[in-house]
Chain A
Amino acid sequence: MIRVEDIRVTFNAGSAMETIALHDLQLTIPAGEFVTVIGSNGAGKSTLLNVIAGETRCDSGRILIEETDVTGWSTARRSALVARVFQDPMAGICENLTLEENLALASSRGCRRGLAYAVDYDRLDEFQQKIAQLGLGLDTRLNDRMGLLSGGQRQAVSLMMATINPMKILLLDEHTAALDPKTAAFVMALTDRIVRELSLTTLMVTHSMRQALDHGDRTVMLHEGRVVLDVSGNERRRMKVEELLHMFEQIRGRELDDDKLLLG
C-alpha cells in the first residue's frame, strides 16, 4: 500500500515565480490497485510521480510505502520499492550499453551490487526468455546497443526492465505518449498483461482520457495540485470519455480551447 499524506511541493519558493505544484495532496493506493492519473498541464501529475520516486523533495507531508516512511530517502534508496518507466524512450535506458547490459542493470535494482560479472550466463538465459516474451524478436539481439532499437522497442524493454525485479509500486509516466498510435497500443496491452500477471500496484499518468478510463481500476483527476475527482468501480465503468471531459471543463471553469485531450 502507498500513502501520500498532505504532500506540498512549491517551485521557485520565495520568488515572483512561486508556484505550488502539489497542494497538500492526499492519495492512498491499496496493494494491487492500478490507478490512472489525468489532469491538464501543470496539474501536478509528473510532480506527484517525481515525489514518489524521490526525484523531487516535498516541503511538508509524508510518503509511506507499506508503512515505511520513505520521505527522506534518496531516489536510489527508494528504487528497491519503486520502479519507473519514463515518457522519453531515451530516459529509461542507456543507449550506449547493450540490451543485456541494460537488463543486467535493471536486474540489480533493489540488490546490493558487488564485483561479480554484471552479465553472467545464468542470467543470460533468463534475459532471453523475458525478452522473447515481448514477441519483438529482440531475443537474438541481446548484444546490440540499446540505441539501435526503435522507440517502441525501447519502451517495451523499459517496461520489462522495470518489472524484472519485485517492487511495491510501478510508476508509468505517460510512457506511451512519445509513440505512434499502433506502437502505443502494443505497449499499453503489454502493460495491462504484465500488471495483471504480477498483480502490481501501479500509478499511471496519462494525457489521454480514453486511456485513463480503459485501463486500470481507478481514475484520479488532478487540478492545481489537488485531487478533484476520484472514481472507481461501477461509477467508473459506466463513465464515458465525454462525461469525464465535461467534468474536466467544469472543474477548469471554462471551455477547453483545444480538443487534444478528447482525441489523444
Chain B
Amino acid sequence: MSLIAFLGAIEAGLLFGLVALGVFISFRILDFPDLTVDGSLPLGAATAATLIVSGVDPYLATLAAMFAGALAGLVTALLNVRLGILHLLASILTMISLHSINLRVMGKPNQALLGEATVFTPFEGLGLPFYALTPVCLLVLLVLVVWLVNRFLTSEIGLGMRATGANPRMAAAQGIETGRMKMLGIALSNGLVGLAGALFAQIQGGADITMGVGVIVVGLAAVILGEAVLSTRTILLAAIGCVFGSILYRLAVAFALNAEVLGLQAQDLKLITALLVVLAMSLPTLRRRWHNARTRR
C-alpha cells in the first residue's frame, strides 16, 4: 500500500469516525436502531455544497449542514415518540423522504464544488503536504468531537440519556423524560452525520445523491470493530473505539482492494462491508455454539 493510499484510508476512517460516533449514540446509548443516517449524510453534503456554491462561508455552510442533519434525526425521533411509529420504520420513512429532499436541496442529482473555498482552505498555508492536510485537520476535529461526546455523556443529562436506553422504566421513575431524551440523542447523532456529510462533500469535491447508500452499515461496522479491539468499560474508551474501528475498517478495505490476488474491485466494497458486519455480529453466537458443541462431547 502506498503512503497516499494509506493516508487516504486514514482520512476516510477519521471522516466516518463521525458517523460511527453518531451510530454509537443511536444504537448503543439509546438502543434506537436509526437508519436515518443513510439520508442525513447526503443531506449534510447537499446542504453544505449548495450553500458554498451560492457564496456562503464554508464554516457557516458546514454548521447549517449539521443542523439539517439534526433536524432529520429529530423528525425520526418525533415519528417514534409522538406518533408511536416503530423506531426502525420511523427512521426508514425519514430516510426515503430525505432522498426527495436532497434532490430538492441541490436541484439536481449532484453538486460539484470545483475550485470553491472549503473549511480546509485556511490551513493550506501551514506547509503541510496536500495529501496530509485533510487527515491532520480531521484528526484534530475528531479529538475535539470525541472529547465533547464523552463530556456530554458523562454529564447529568448524558447519564439520563444512557439510562433511557438501558432501562426506560427506571429512567422515567428517576425523573428522566425519556421521549425528550430520544429526540435530543437522535438529533445529536444525525447532527454528527450531517457534519460528516458536509466535510465529505468538501473533501471529495462535491455532493452526490447516492453517497449515503449503506452508510449505516459502515458506521455499524466501525462501532463493532471498535468494541472488538478496545474495551467499552468507559464512555471515553467506547468513543475512541468508534473512531479506531472506523480507521481499522478503512485500512482493511484498502488492503483488500490493493491485494491483487483477491481480485476485488471498488464495486465490491458494500458487499465486503455487509459480510464484515454479519461476521462480527454473529461471532458471539457462533462462539457459543462452538463452545457448547465442544463441552457436550
- Chain A positions near chain B (C-beta within 8 angstroms): 53, 55, 74-77, 79-80, 83-84, 86, 90-97, 101, 104-106, 108-111, 113-119
How extensive is the interface on chain B, given as a class? 20 to 34
In the complex, B155 has a CB within 8 A of chain A: yes
Residues in B whose Cβ lies below 8 Å from that of A115: 152, 155-157
The reply to whether B175 and A108 form a contact with Cβ atoms under 8 Å apart is: yes
Tally inter-chain residue pairs, CB-CB below 8 A: 85
How far is it, in angstroms, between the C-alpha of A113 and the C-alpha of B176 when the chains are bound? 9
Q: Decide yes or no: A94 and B175 within 8 Å by CB, A108-B156, A116-B155 being known contacts.
A: no
The reply to whether B159 and A79 form a contact with Cβ atoms under 8 Å apart is: no
How far is it, in angstroms, between the C-alpha of A77 and the C-alpha of B176 when the chains are bound? 8
Residues in B whose Cβ lies below 8 Å from that of A105: 159-160, 163, 171, 174, 176
In the complex, B87 has a CB within 8 A of chain A: no
From DSSP, what is the main secondary structure of chain B's interface residues?
A: helix
How far is it, in angstroms, between the C-alpha of A109 and the C-alpha of B173 when the chains are bound? 8
In the complex, B101 has a CB within 8 A of chain A: no
The 25 listed contacts between A and B (C-beta, < 8 Å) are A74-B172, A75-B173, A76-B177, A76-B178, A79-B172, A79-B174, A79-B175, A91-B167, A92-B173, A93-B167, A93-B170, A97-B159, A97-B166, A101-B159, A105-B174, A106-B174, A108-B159, A108-B174, A110-B175, A113-B156, A113-B157, A115-B152, A115-B157, A117-B154, A117-B155
How far is it, in angstroms, between the C-alpha of A94 and the C-alpha of B154 when the chains are bound? 15
Q: Decide yes or no: A94 and B162 within 8 Å by CB, A113-B157, A117-B154 being known contacts.
A: yes
The reply to whether B159 and A84 form a contact with Cβ atoms under 8 Å apart is: no
Q: Decide yes or no: A114 and B157 within 8 Å by CB, A91-B169, A94-B163, A94-B167 being known contacts.
A: yes
Residues in B whose Cβ lies below 8 Å from that of A92: 170, 173
By beta carbon, the residue of chain A nearest B173 is A84
In the complex, B205 has a CB within 8 A of chain A: no
In the complex, B158 has a CB within 8 A of chain A: yes
